[in-house]
Structure 1
Amino acid sequence: MKTLSFAVPCYNSAAYMDKCIESLLACGDDIEIIIVDDGSTKDDTPAKADEWERRYPDIIRAVHQENGGHGQAVNTGLAHATGRYFKVVDSDDWLDERAMAEIMTYLRRQNELEDATDLVIGNYVYEKVAEGARTVMHYRNVFPEGREFGWDEVGHFGQSQYLLMHSVIYRTELLHEMGLQLPKHTFYVDNIFVYVPLPHVKTIYYRDVDMYRYFIGREDQSVNESVMMGRIDQQLRVTRLMIDAVQLPGGVPEKRLERYMENYLSMMMCICSIFLRMIDTDEAEDKREAIWGYLKAQNPDVYRRIRRSALNMGTNLPTELGRKIGITGYRMAQKIFKFN
């Protein structure tokens, strides 16, 4: 069995996908790379994918599909994955060779065991290439380092510390058994990927190495501010799916995990609120009230706690002052955490 399956969603990625794939190949021969061409038509992504498969037939597979969006590309990668572990690497990002050497050493040991660790975590780095700047997102104050542990040993997450798709490597069978499926033609599904499986995770391993390099700064990126406002309906859809997928607190086995997941959901609600207030139309205001009404209807207790949280209390004041407070807070967070 291969140690690790990489899924690489590609949509018109010809200009940058080679760097990504080369960084994965450096991980060794006991990996598989599933290049998912998500209906690319504007460049030679399909031909590049096939050429990579031709050059490395024992490692790389090119899978071509009709355009289904990032989530469907991840679904396709997971459906084809045969490795013990599964990781998604976006085609404009890359992995650090030295960090992955340490991660792969652990994964190889786990591949020999019957009961392998469910979730392996490393740091990720925001690479603002145009500015020559980088921000490391680590978890050394949250997780024990260098040994397996459970949720009962997890410490307190800081305001900027969330598990993102960049930082996680799941045991493949765990994702298969829980039937994880991401929605088609929807951006921001990476939030579902790092939220919904967590109650199924029993064992975790963290390595304090800068594993994933997250390129940020392209104008068409999904995290670009104007793009996010244009795709707010997809952000709202993902948030509703997260509310429905895990019933807090009953669906979560550990108190510390429950607290983390509630804080993550609070962050998602805050993002929805802030961008709707940035749009600043009557329709946007109706949508803001609707998403909060949805949470209240589905889970009144969680609604009350999240609505009163420091993250959301000022954001949702029903005045122009409240709108300005929310947007000001967002601008400050941008400068501190450099997330877009």
Structure 2
Amino acid sequence: MKKFDKLITFTVPCYNSEAYMRHCIDSILVGGDDIEIIIIDDGSTKDRTAEIADEYQEKYPNICRAIHQENGGHGSGVNNGIKNARGKYFKVVDSDDWVDKDAYLKILAKLKEFEESGTNIDLLITNYVYEKPSTNEQKIIDFSKGLPQNRVFGWEDMGKFGPNEFFVMHTLIYKTQILWDSKVELPIHMFYVDSIFATMPLPYVKEIYYMKENFYRYFVGRDDQSVNQDMILKRIDQYMYIPQIICETFDHNETVKISPKLAEYVFRLIRILSLISTIFLNMNPSKENERKRKEYWKMIKKNQPVTYRRIRYYMPCIIANFPGHIGTLMAKIGYTVSKKILKFN
């Protein structure tokens, strides 16, 4: 097995990120020589992203590495980070986000404790916080009701999660070997691929640890963010492709053999992604979007017949699939409610 040089690798994918990448990288540098930061310049051309990445590498040669690649999108940057990681653990931090110092130091101390005691951890989970500076709003996504605290646990020890509690990229620190073993590879030139990163390696995870720390700070409010309503409508084909990949990859019966609770979690994820996809298609009614909606549900039925029956006749999905003007009205109402509950925009 490979000997790791660092405790944890942070990968920061950057694309024309000059305006905010320093704030992100500086928040991670607090970890000192125990960590490495791989700064991925994803073919930036409109600003000084590439120069700033090189600047950090020159100033912090034992911590920062700059990797310049042809533009391939967020997924390509994450793939490159996984490939080049030298840390035992792996974390992605988007260039417009940052990490909380106090929570960060506690996490590093806990990872060191695991190393000293020989405790194996495949996945470390933390809380994350939606940060909207323009309105001074915060929303903490807390997993303490559904996950045991202060002990190592497995999938069958999980409790019930709230409607907005899912394992997104922001909340996960994987053991790097798990990512290599799972052979997870994100699609290039595509948005919303973080759901694949947060899902595909899970069957390889056995030992889990949860820390009730508000570690990751997720910035919301930029007009060009991929989770902005107009952007999702514009890229709805890409958004719908993500649950399709998950459906085609996860066999429900095989996942049940690994863990019934993991299978139930994946079902919940497919359900919410399917609901959101349907809502957005009906918010922008057209013959083409009607065709896409029908084809999407045919795909679910073909690849996951058990999951299809449970999802399609889930009341919010029934309502979201109403045809015509009623469906459009229900979609708009559903979007407003979902945005408040799930904070996906």
Q: What TM-score results when the alignment is normalised by the length of structure 1?
A: 0.97
For the pair 1:94 / 2:98, whether they are aligned, the reply is yes
Aligned alpha-carbon RMSD (Å): 1.3
Moved more, 226-235 or 305-314: 305-314
Unaligned 5+ segments in structure 1 are: none
Shift of 1:325: 2.0
CA distance in 1, matches of 2:190, 2:266: 22
The match for 2:80 is: 76
Shift of 1:259: 0.8
The match for 1:245 is: 249
Shift of 1:115: 5.6
* Paired residue total: 340
Alignment of 1:218-237 (within 5 A): 218-237=222-241
Aligned residue type for 2:14: C
Give the conservation status (yes or no) of the 8 Å contact 2:248–2:303. yes
Task: Quote the sequence identity (%).
Answer: 45
What secondary structure, in the 3-state scheme, does the structure 1 residue paired with 2:206 have? coil
What secondary structure, in the 3-state scheme, does the structure 1 residue paired with 2:307 have? helix
Moved more, 10-19 or 142-151: 142-151
Give the conservation status (yes or no) of the 8 Å contact 2:155–2:262. yes
Give the conservation status (yes or no) of the 8 Å contact 1:6–1:87. yes
The match for 1:278 is: 283
Give the conservation status (yes or no) of the 8 Å contact 2:32–2:63. no
Give the conservation status (yes or no) of the 8 Å contact 2:130–2:139. yes
Give the conservation status (yes or no) of the 8 Å contact 1:266–1:311. no
Aligned residue type for 2:121: T
- What CA deviation, in whole Å up to 9, does each residue of 1:47-76 have, x standing for no partner? 000000000000100000000000000000
Aligned residue type for 2:272: M
Give the conservation status (yes or no) of the 8 Å contact 1:72–1:184. yes
After the TM superposition, list the runs of 4 or more consecutive aligned residues in structure 1 that deviate by more than 4 angstroms.
Answer: 112-115
Rate the CA distance shift 1:264–1:88 in 2: closer, same or farther, 3 A: same
- What CA deviation, in whole Å up to 9, does each residue of 1:164-189 have, x standing for no partner? 10000000001001111000001000
Shift of 1:157: 1.0
The match for 1:263 is: 268
Alignment of 1:1-340 (within 5 A): 1-112=5-116, 116-252=120-256, 253-340=258-345
Shift of 1:87: 0.3
CA distance in 1, matches of 2:148, 2:217: 22
CA distance in 1, matches of 2:170, 2:250: 22
What secondary structure, in the 3-state scheme, does the structure 2 residue paired with 1:220 have? coil
Aligned residue type for 1:142: G
Unaligned 5+ segments in structure 2 are: none
What secondary structure, in the 3-state scheme, does the structure 2 residue paired with 1:42 have? coil
CA distance in 2, matches of 1:262, 1:336: 19
Give the conservation status (yes or no) of the 8 Å contact 1:316–1:322. yes
CA distance in 1, matches of 2:340, 2:21: 29
